[in-house]
Amino acid sequence: MKPYALMINGQRVETAQHLEVRNPADGSVVGLMPVATEAELNAAVAAASAAFSAWAATPDEERQALCAKVADIIEAHAEELAQLLTLEQGKPLGGLGSRFELGGAVAWTRATAALSLPVELLQDTPEGRVELHRKPIGVVGSITPWNWPVMIACWHLIPAIRAGNTVVSKPSSLTPLSTIRMVELMNEVLPPGVMNVVTGEGGLGGALAGHAGVGKVVFTGSTPVGKKVMAAAAGTLKRLTLELGGNDAGIVLPGTDPAAIAEGLFWGAFINNGQTCAALKRLYVHESVHDAVCEALVAYAAKIPVGDGRLESSVLGPVQNEKQLALVRELVEDAKAQGGKVLLGGDPGNGPGYFYPVTLISNVDNGVRLVDEEQFGPVLPIIKYASVEEVIGRANASPFGLGGSVWSSDIEAAKTVAKRLECGSVWINKHGAIQPNAPFGGVKQSGVGVEFGVEGLKEFTTIQTLLV
Ligand code: NAD
């Protein structure tokens, strides 16, 4: 098996050590991830640093055209990347799986390539002229998770280079191969040193977050690790974008037609097997429609085939890793012990691979771990409520604030509730539907800053005010 290599200054760099990357469906080895040393990390930062001035000085239209070419080359290799992604991440090829993720990666890359940040004229009077210029920061360190590795990498890497920065990418060691391959492809288009990738374990992410040669870190992952990144970045006062964990609440208002919302609720919660930052993670349903919503959800969910992602028949795949599977099991067992009623699933079986059935649990409430914590897996707690006023408080009673949703046939009533939810994005009659022109980010402990669109692009710049 040919090992994968780091990509530094446009060159493949073979490392002395490797780690096996395994398919969560059956434990088979997918490929060998390079393990970078500290010297190799330093070389990647030095390459990005050396490439920075020329890249920052490249005419904006040229950088824009090169970013569009990056979209083209990812698109041309989308099937190859999707196959690799399914092998290491586990998600199915079809449906809302790997091909969908590659489609998203290309769409975001194109949309970001098309953005620009022209000089803003703040004042032009006889007293003076004030211009606001946006300048790239320098070397950006990108640290990405294992759930949507390719798409999230594009959310980091493309705005960084579009704005004129250079990059060192550090993907999760659970799903590193698709990002390494994508960065190799990007290097067929970009000048050497603009886009580098390092992988490894044992503190490589922390070393990148604290590296004196890095000017900004963009991190997507869990809240505890996000706090460590923030601490590591403090030494050199790095700019930060942190996209962290969530425990998104959905509220179904009285008078809502269960049949009309069951499919949307299901996919809001179970997209990518629930391993999605802004998935619906706790569902509050008014008592007048509670039983009917439960029945409609069970009827829809029972038909979803879970299996090996390589099979075109699979609609959901395995959980990505052992640690995550253990957490899902633990939270479900705890919910059962607290009186939770298993409406569907709940029994993992003993087969090979990290499979867990689609699971719906009612008769739980705030105070049960499955409701209070981020499960990040294929299980949804359904909570019955009586008063809309009171349920808004329960939805907001969380340290997280990523997304939320309100479900109702009365859009105005839904909007009134939505505006009172403490979260960065709120959807009506859908959940987690992100798009490249809508800024996305968390409040409270779900993050700092936003991604996407012009607002997201601005985060990869600093302001220089020019006063004449
Ligand atoms: P994680 O925090 O365990 O790991 C994320 C990345 O950080 C990985 O590349 C990991 O190797 C690296 N890392 C680990 N320790 C580090 C350290 N001390 N310093 C720097 N980097 C370090 O997260 P995960 O398990 O890969 O992903 C799941 C979590 O990510 C969930 O909480 C989920 O909600 C969150 N997430 C958030 C978003 C969002 O946009 N808000 C998107 C996807 C996932």
Location of structure tokens 């003993």: 350
Is there a catalytic annotation at residue 423? no
Nearest alpha carbon to residue 354 among 83, 29, 21, 89: 89
Alpha-carbon span 301 to 262, nearest angstrom = 9
| Tokens matching residue 365 | 């409430």
| Single-letter amino acid, residue 253 | L
For the full predicted model, state whether its pTM sits above 0.95.
yes
Q: What is the pLDDT of residues 138-164, one digit of tens each?
A: 999 999 999 999 999 999 999 999 999
CATH number of this structure's domain 248-428, picked from the four choices 3.40.50.720, 1.20.1090.10, 3.40.309.10, 3.40.50.2300: 3.40.309.10
CATH of 6-244+446-467, one of 3.20.20.100, 3.20.20.70, 3.40.605.10, 2.30.30.280: 3.40.605.10
pLDDT (tens place) for every residue of the chain, 468 residues total: 889 999 999 999 999 999 999 999 999 999 999 999 999 999 999 999 999 999 999 999 999 999 999 999 999 999 999 999 999 999 999 999 999 999 999 999 999 999 999 999 999 999 999 999 999 999 999 999 999 999 999 999 999 999 999 999 999 999 999 999 999 999 999 999 999 999 998 899 999 999 999 999 999 999 999 999 999 999 999 999 999 999 999 999 999 999 999 999 999 999 999 999 999 999 999 999 999 999 999 999 999 999 999 999 999 999 999 999 999 999 999 999 999 999 999 988 787 899 999 999 999 999 999 999 999 999 999 999 999 999 999 999 999 999 999 999 999 999 999 999 999 999 999 999 999 999 999 999 999 999 999 999 999 999 999 999
Please report the pLDDT score of residue 349 as a whole number: 77
245 vs 248: CA distance, rounded Å: 9
Output the pLDDT for position 348: 85
C-alpha 148/C-alpha 167 separation (Å) is 19
Q: Measuring CA to CA, which residue among 417, 421, 403, 406 is closest to residue 264?
A: 406
Yes or no: say if 170 and 163 are a contact pair by the CB < 8 Å rule: no
The pLDDT of residue 157 is 98
CA of 219 to the centre of ligand 1 (A): 7
Per-residue confidence (pLDDT) for residue 339, from 0 to 100: 98
Residue 209 CB–ligand 1 contact under 6 Å: yes
Which residue is associated with the tokens 């429609």?
289
For residue 363, the model assigns a pLDDT of 98
* Portions of the chain given CATH number 3.40.605.10: 6-244+446-467
Residues spanned by CATH 3.40.309.10 within the chain? 248-428
Question: Which atom in ligand 1 lies closest to the alpha carbon of residue 221?
Answer: 30
330 tagged catalytic: no
Looking at residue 139, its pLDDT comes to 99
Active-site residue (options: 243, 373, 374, 459): 243
User: Atom 42 in ligand 1: which residue has the minimum CA distance?
Assistant: 277
Counting atoms of ligand 1 from 1, which one is nearest the CA of 245? Answer: 34
Count of C-beta atoms within a 10 Å radius of residue 8: 24
pLDDT tens digits along 21-79: 999 999 999 999 999 999 999 999 999 999 999 999 999 999 999 999 999 999 999 99
Testing ligand 1's pocket by substitution, the residue of 172, 199, 325 carrying the most ligand atoms inside 8 A of its CB is: 172
pLDDT the model gives residue 30: 97
Model pLDDT, residue 142: 98
Per-residue pLDDT at 453: 97
What does the pLDDT read at residue 293? 98
Active-site residue (options: 88, 101, 154, 277): 277
CA geometry: angle 7, 13, 15, nearest 5 deg: 120
Question: What is the pLDDT, as a whole number, of residue 202?
Answer: 84
442 lines ligand 1 (CB under 6 A): yes
